[in-house]
Structure 1
């Protein structure tokens, strides 16, 4: 015998919402958020289209901002010693140009002097490979080898064209590469000199509330971008020093050039280190043989494992806060759309976008907490009123109102 349920209290009826009403509410919620996602996606596509059309202008601005993150600390140190901002910015920029020019002047003669010898050794290596392919157990014919070599040459030429077009994407429409670089230097000078005036001006234009949000977000963006550039420079320098030292000890040609390429490749996470390491192994294989190439490969793997598992997590934990999947997708998307420059700028752009998303989340959490507190206070007041009237909160909520 089943026990009968207790009757509901007198004067209280519990009415469940109609099933169709619940489905309608859920459908309206889904439709509303679907429209929001569609609007955000269309806005992102429109923003990307505008960036692509104005890439010739956007590229120098972005590169100038990156240069400013490197030159701002010494400029700030000089201004604190009462050096005029224009003189401090000009000094930092001139020293930067001198360092870059010195590096280029140092590696070009090395490449020119060692390139013929490297080409001769590459030819000898190719001939040895051909002789090996003709013998057992492969036993290829000359026409098969020639066809394979022709296919490889065509692929290399196509890859070279793609790489060259990727390097100069956004620059080819300008009058020349020198004009673009000159624009980067001019913008860098004014950004460094007048940068501290930008935030107060933006605050005054945006007003008190909007200006406060812009000031916080832009400040965090600048800290994140500067932290990424400086941290990545330190990590890349460590990679270049140890890998370059190994190449020098092993007597690999173009060791300084390969070390510099390793340093530059470090600014393109995941992809850059792989390409620079593969190039170093290839040069060692052609010039010094298989044994040296294997040793170079081991050195590169050990250095990059220490860098990836020890240095980067420690140094970038406060500056980036990005998952490796996000980094890989950002590099892939940036490289496919804007070439090598896009791959270089992809991770800083993703980190800056993450700053905006985190700040929006903080604001939502802050206002949600305020709403919860207000709801709790209102519920306590309703409870006090109901207790004073001698009824429970549930009965007061379901009691029919008098006409």
Structure 2
């Protein structure tokens, strides 16, 4: 909004200038467009997720297609089809080995869930009864509310499982569409890139092409790294839980693998089901399961993530966590999953549009501010106290 120039501003009877908004309509249209875009995103969240997954998978598999072109001298469409066939064959073999066991464990988990929830509630009540101070602090109303919410959650899971089974046909249809998008994106990416560049003024095409190449390179490395990370974390959890003698170990391994989809907080929530299940059935194993989850997360954070993902995104943990909170609050699970791709795009635009025109702040400048804030908070430690 912009006020009118001083000499052109209408004046009230008192002689004071009156503020006149001259761009109210464009502002209202922009706000309306944003609201419509958010609403549209919510309506098409699932198809958009399928399209995004197909594009990310295409970016991750593109080096394999290029290898088929350069090394095996195959036409790109043939190399793309062989790459997709190899992917499907690997998934089919994995499914043949794991799906029967996984189905049995899902059935066992669903059947024992109400009893496990009841036993866990009893153990929590007994633990609180041994600590009357904490029990009095929480209050009966709080405990009853938590218990009723947990019971409602458990009883509501079974209809959700049934609805998920009934929606399998729709999921398979979306999978077919995603497979078609993946195949054509791998086989003929040039027309898509050409269409993107054609929508840009000719003077800016080189810059847009450089930014697009940078974003796609980062997404490609991140996509391949995430696939390897999911396999490594899921496999480590499944093998560790199997060695500890935990029931439904494969199911919990799959949950841990998919927990990697949501950055930072996903692995934490994925570690809870086996811990709570063993706490209800065999409390002695719960500590071992928790230690296993802690060890795997530490190895993931300090070994796997730097080695597998490297600098593909190079995002600060605070940025990722804040992005998960913001995008997840607005767009749900789809937004939480797309946090890293969104942040890669935002970071590339930020660095190419804003930082390219000015000198970035140095690490020494940032450190000086941090140390200055510490000195202000604790003047006695720095000899600046009054007196």
TM-score under structure 2 length normalisation? 0.69
Match of 1:260 among 239, 254, 259: 254
Instruction: Kindly name which structure, 1 or 2, has the bigger radius of gyration based on alpha carbons.
Output: 1
Per-residue deviation, 1:218: 0.9
Structure 1 match to 2:138:
none
- Tell me the distance in 1 between the aligned counterparts of 2:320 and 2:162: 24
Q: Deviations over 1:187-228 (max 9, x none)?
A: 111111111443355445635422112211110110111121
Per-residue deviation, 1:116: 6.1
| 1:89 counterpart = 2:80 | yes
1:231·1:315 contact (CA, 8 Å) conserved in 2? yes
| 1:278 counterpart = 2:272 | yes
| 1:152 counterpart = 2:146 | no
Q: Compute the RMSD of aligned alpha carbons.
A: 4.3
Structure 2 match to 1:342:
335
Structure 2 match to 1:16:
none
Q: Superposition pairs for residues 176-325 of structure 1, below 5 Å?
A: 176-200=170-194, 202-203=196-197, 206=200, 208-287=202-281, 289-313=282-306, 315-325=308-318
Provide the aligned length of Structure 1 versus Structure 2. 328
2:105·2:251 contact (CA, 8 Å) conserved in 1? no
Structure 1 match to 2:10:
none
Per-residue deviation, 1:115: 5.3
Structure 1 segments (4+ residues) deviating >6 Å: 36-43, 144-148, 159-165
- Tell me the distance in 1 between the aligned counterparts of 2:103 and 2:192: 46
2:121·2:147 contact (CA, 8 Å) conserved in 1? no
2:58·2:182 contact (CA, 8 Å) conserved in 1? yes
| 1:328 counterpart = 2:321 | yes
1:69·1:226 contact (CA, 8 Å) conserved in 2? yes
Per-residue deviation, 1:276: 1.5
2:237·2:253 contact (CA, 8 Å) conserved in 1? yes
1:244·1:256 contact (CA, 8 Å) conserved in 2? yes
Secondary structure of the 1:321 match is: coil
- Tell me the distance in 2 between the aligned counterparts of 1:132 and 1:66: 44
Per-residue deviation, 1:315: 4.8
Per-residue deviation, 1:68: 0.7
Deviates more, 1:146-155 or 1:62-71: 146-155
Secondary structure of the 1:350 match is: helix
- Tell me the distance in 2 between the aligned counterparts of 1:295 and 1:134: 22
2:264·2:321 contact (CA, 8 Å) conserved in 1? yes
Per-residue deviation, 1:339: 2.7
2:259·2:267 contact (CA, 8 Å) conserved in 1? yes
TM-score under structure 1 length normalisation? 0.66
- Tell me the distance in 1 between the aligned counterparts of 2:44 and 2:145: 44
Distance 1:73 1:106, change over 3 A: same
Per-residue deviation, 1:335: 2.5
Unmatched runs of 5 consecutive residues or more in structure 2: 1-20, 136-140, 360-387
2:65·2:83 contact (CA, 8 Å) conserved in 1? yes
Distance 1:78 1:150, change over 3 A: same
Q: Deviations over 1:252-276 (max 9, x none)?
A: 1222232222122112112220121
Q: Deviations over 1:291-334 (max 9, x none)?
A: 21111101111221232234424554521122212211221233
Distance 1:152 1:203, change over 3 A: closer
Unmatched runs of 5 consecutive residues or more in structure 1: 1-30, 367-403
